[in-house]
Each structure stands twice: as C-alpha cells, then as structure tokens.
Structure 1
Amino acid sequence: MKIFAVILLPSMLLNACMGTQTGHGQKIPAATYMGGSNTIEEVSKELKSAGASHVDIFQEWAADFADTAGKNAMLEDTWSDPYKLKADVGKCMDGWEKEHDYSDADCRMTAFLLLDEVLSAESTEEEYEGTYLMFDTEAIDNVGRYETIKEDRDIFTTLYGEKSVTDDKHPETVFSDSWDKYGFRIDSDNMSLLSIVIYDPYSDVVFVGHAGVLIKCSDHYLFVEKIAFEQPYQATRVNTMDELLEIMSLRPEYFGEAAEAGPFVYNNGEYVGVLSSYGLLK
C-alpha cells in the first residue's frame, strides 16, 4: 500500500465476483466462525476471487485462532443461522492466552490486511497522538506477524483513529469528511470497507469501532470480519446489506446510552445510516 495522488472518480457499481458458490445450495443468511480448515479454506477462496490482499496471511491467522481459541471454545467448522450463532468469549480468550504471549488481531487490523493492496490515501496525519487505537498500535508496533500493517501504520491510524467533531449536531459527517480530506480510495469494483463509527459525546470525537470487508457476489453479499481481540473470525452471507446490518444490530457493544447519536454505518467513505437495535435507520 502506498500513498499517492489520485484523481477521484465516481464510485463504480459493485460487480459480481466470479467463481464463487453460495455454499452448495446453502440457505442464506448464513454465518460461520471458521472453526476449522473447511470453512477457512472456503472463505479464503472467495476472498482470493474477489481480489483481497494477503489472503495467505489471513488464512494463517484464522487457522491459528481456530486451532487454539476456537478449539477451547468448541467453535464449529460449519455454517449456521447467524441469528443463533454465539461463541463463548471467555473460553476464546482463555484458549488464545494459553497458547500465545502476544496480542491477537482485531477487526480493524484484519480488514486493513485484506484491503492493503487496493486501499490508498493522498495524504495522512503527521502523527497519531490519540488513545482509541492504543491496543491496535501496541500490537502492530511489537508483534512481528503484523509487520505488513506496520509498513502502513500512518494510513491505518489516519483511517481508523478518532476525529474531532466540530459540529455536534452532525457527527455523522465527520468520517466521510475525513475520507475526502485525506483522499482515501479503495480501488475495487466488488470489495469495500464497511465501518461502524462510534460517537463519544464526552470527548466529542468519532472513531471506527468496528470494520470488515464487504464483497458483492453474483447473488449475495459476503462479509468477512474479526469480531474483536481474542474473539472469533466470522464470515456472513446475506442477500442485502440491510440484512447484514440487522444481524450486526444484535451486538450490544456498538450502542451507548439511548440519547447518544449513532453508531453510524459507512460503506467506504459513504454514509449509509444509523445502526439501531432494529437494524439500519436511513
């Protein structure tokens, strides 16, 4: 990934990804924690077909997690109903920490890895001095397996780090404005970065609380994510983006107090709407 000057063109429509299947007649929506080699390989093939970056590294990370944290939490190597999918987070954490003396990857790191060769920026912040990415940057700076991300640390922190809200009536515009300011671009017809941006009214900033890679296939969407540090990798097949966000709305960690604005959803730098406990509010 390199920083370079670009002429921004209108976003192209997402095209069908070639050579993928919907799980051999599998009912959609469906999701998997990639608890073994079968689902890891299946998802990795779809990522390669879509043009994702460093799929071999992603496959190594997912296999390592499945063999340690996944085994301890008995994550299954199969597809399931995403509305019923649930992992024992405590057992995942115990399983990871028992076998590793270094930090696991999180959602932002995983999405950045997979988009590395198609994501670019015209400029970046001079230096990241925030705190919201402290665990990300600590892992990136100190763990050798994250060297690929470290090479573009300035793009990573500019993309995901907290941004001040100057108009507290419209915090939903800040992330899109940041994409425009730094000239972020994802050069792909069928892959995009789906971000859930959190507004902190006490510090008056927004930051990327969750991120994953969204792929538009011929007859469905595939969303690939790492839920959080020491929590599972997940791949989800859905019919529409609204269906995906309805599934993601079941995660309480994205929501603050009832009166707080957001969380806000973006496809690349384009504002999609507000995520609520009922799904997407446009």
Structure 2
Amino acid sequence: MLSVISASVLISGCTAADKNTAPHDESGKSAYSRSNQSTQSDQSVSVSEGSSGLPESKSETGAYNKDKGTLKSLTYSNLLDTESQEEVKAALVDSGIDENAIKKFFDSVNYFNSNVDTESLVQKGFISSEKLSPEYDQIAIQQKWAEKNPDFIGCNCRITTFTLLKDLIKIKNSSSDGNSDTESDFLTFDISAVKNAPESLFDDEQMKFFKSVFDEMPTTKSMDTDVHVEAFKKEWRKRGVSFDESSKARMISVVFNSDLDDKQTLFIGHVGVLVPGKDNKLLFIEKLAFQEPYQVLKFDDKSQVAEYLMYKYDVEWDQKTAHPFIMDNDSLIEGYGIYNLNKN
C-alpha cells in the first residue's frame, strides 16, 4: 500500500499537485480540478525526462520571460556537509529559532540524506547554476528511500517549516479537533507522515496548530489574485494565526487557488523558511517534497525569492483559477510578480 502512496507523492510533494489528497470519484480516479490536472501532468513529464523543474516545453514556448526579473542563476546547497550545515545553523540561531527545533530539523536532514541516493545532490557547500530549478535524480532518490522506509513517506515542506517555526507561530482559535469547522482531507499525507516518523515530530497540541495553519480554506470564484489574498488573510485571522514579528525568521508560503469539484479553495502548496545569512544574503530553507531533497538557496532580496517561487510553481496554462501568490508571514511578499505569460 505504501509503495502506491510513495509513487503518488514522489511527484506531488509540496506542490499544487498535493491536491492528490482530494476525494475520489466512483471510478476510483482522483477528482482533480482542471488546474491541478495540468500541474500534475506537467511535473510528471519533467520527472520522466530526468528534470525536476519546469518542463522543457514550457520554457521553449516562452511561458516565463526571465528578462522581467533579476534572477539569472541560483546558489544552493543540499546540506550534505558540515560546513554548509554550520552556516545555516548559525543563521537560524541568529534569527531567534529555538535550538531544540534547529536540532530536530538537522536530525531530519541527516536522516533523509543518509537514506537516499545522494549522487545528484550538491556534495559540498553551495554551488551556482543558471538553471532556476535544480535537477535531481528523483527516481533513484525515491527508490532507495522506499527500500529503507517502507512505512514512512518522509517530511514535506509544511512539516519541515512547522518544525522550525512552530514556537514563532501563534494560534488563538484552535479547537480540540484542530480547527474542525474547516478541516478537510487536504493534509492526509502530512498527518500520515507525522504519525509514522521514526522519531516524534509534533505532540497532539502542536498537530492541532499545524492543521489550523495549513488546512485549505474557502474563497470566492475570481481570477483576481487580490481577492484571494484578502480571503486568505481573513481566514487566518478567523483561525487566530499570527506570527512573532520580533523574530528575523519568516514563513514564505506559495498559495494556490483550486476549483476542485466546483469548490473554490486556497491552499499552501509549498512553504519554506527565510532568514538573513552572512554577506547580506537571504537564506531560503525548503524541503522540496516528501521524497525530494532539502534545499537551501541564497538570494539578494525578497523579490528574488518571489521570482524563484513563481518560476517554479506558476505553471498552469489557460485555466479558470487565479495565479498563485506568495505570502511573507501574513502579508503579500515584497516584489511579488507574475511571470507566467500563458495564463490570462
């Protein structure tokens, strides 16, 4: 059973295709929205071609105009070596993140890296690449992980981010069921991962908070991103979600609009932690998917963070849903822009 789940989350992970957790129709097929069918299909192509980034067909047809932004290359690490880990650890400590949370994060990093094929990962320090979405051998990584972890699908972006920031996120209105009035099956894989992890990740109270932060939320039908930004803020206020603004650490969320079963919702399809690093750089810390690598990237400013995330995740064509948007804690990120020229 787990091997089937592993195959499905290999592609989906923390992206828009995470809506794989949606209800199934009578034929047993997932009832995806058209927008998420497009996203999953495109990412399946990228895996089969050995690429984890934007499918070649999209870059060739000019879906993204890179001249509109300032991001021409990426500098990144997969935290395989002590030097890169120490650099990131120092930045996390300086940002006010609890040392126990940092230890648990690096325990998860080291567990993952010791349980997968690391040949396609950065072996030491940080490297630079002109590719705006680093490529990894996802099949080799997933196969070795599944062999060693038959009951644990791994940690994804939401679990990783909450591990680091849970003490800096405040929840006022969490119910005994974890925000039961809006709870859905969107977090099914996340909950399974937490329950089956080799070491405890969250206690019961923290899991309630996790659901309040990350469960999908209602919105109205609109192609106007501003409408959805306000709906997102309103729902978080209703759930009592707020952030410790005295910390330098920021939660950066990619929020998607779905029309699954004609139900308009918003969900955090990808998320990571942004902290100041050395040499006036920003470090963006992310787990790409359950069985994809940990990745830390260096940026000059938040505009570049937003550009990287939109390049990677705004990949739908001609759909009736709005573009994804990027939240910096509970506000729209500075420098947010739309680079997908094929979506009206």
The TM-score range, normalised by the shorter chain, is: 0.7 to 0.9
CA deviation vs aligned residue, 1:230-267 (integer Å, no higher than 9, x gap): 10111111111111222233325x53333330211100
| 1:244 equivalent in alignment to 2:305 | yes
| 1:162 equivalent in alignment to 2:216 | yes
In structure 2, relative to structure 1, the CA distance for the partners of 1:132 and 1:276 (3 Å cut) is farther
Please, which of 169, 174, 185 is the counterpart of residue 124 of structure 1?
174
In structure 2, relative to structure 1, the CA distance for the partners of 1:115 and 1:181 (3 Å cut) is same
Whose strand proportion is higher, 1 or 2? 1
| 1:223 equivalent in alignment to 2:280 | no
Match of 1:234 in 2: 295
1:176 is paired with a residue whose SS is helix
Match of 1:97 in 2: 146
Q: Is contact 2:254–2:325 with CA below 8 Å preserved after alignment?
A: yes
- For residues 78 and 38 of structure 1, what CA distance do their matches in structure 2 show? 6
Structure 2 unaligned segments of length 5 or more: list them. Answer: 1-72
| 1:181 equivalent in alignment to 2:238 | yes
Shift of 1:58: 0.7
Shift of 1:38: 2.9
| 1:213 equivalent in alignment to 2:263 | no
- For residues 75 and 330 of structure 2, what CA distance do their matches in structure 1 show? 27
Please, which of 68, 76, 81 is the counterpart of residue 36 of structure 1?
81
1:71 is paired with a residue whose SS is coil
CA deviation vs aligned residue, 1:25-48 (integer Å, no higher than 9, x gap): xxx952112233332232122212
1:69 is paired with a residue whose SS is coil
Structure 1 unaligned segments of length 5 or more: list them. Answer: 1-27
Q: Is contact 1:72–1:92 with CA below 8 Å preserved after alignment?
A: no
Q: Is contact 1:141–1:150 with CA below 8 Å preserved after alignment?
A: no
How many residues matched? 251
- For residues 130 and 136 of structure 1, what CA distance do their matches in structure 2 show? 12
Whose helix proportion is higher, 1 or 2? 2
Report % sequence identity: 22
TM-score where L is the length of structure 1: 0.80
Give the partner amino acid of 1:119: I
2:141 is paired with a residue whose SS is helix
Give the partner amino acid of 2:79: M
Q: Is contact 2:257–2:266 with CA below 8 Å preserved after alignment?
A: yes
Worse overlay, 77-86 or 55-64: 77-86
Match of 2:26 in 1: none
In structure 2, relative to structure 1, the CA distance for the partners of 1:142 and 1:100 (3 Å cut) is closer
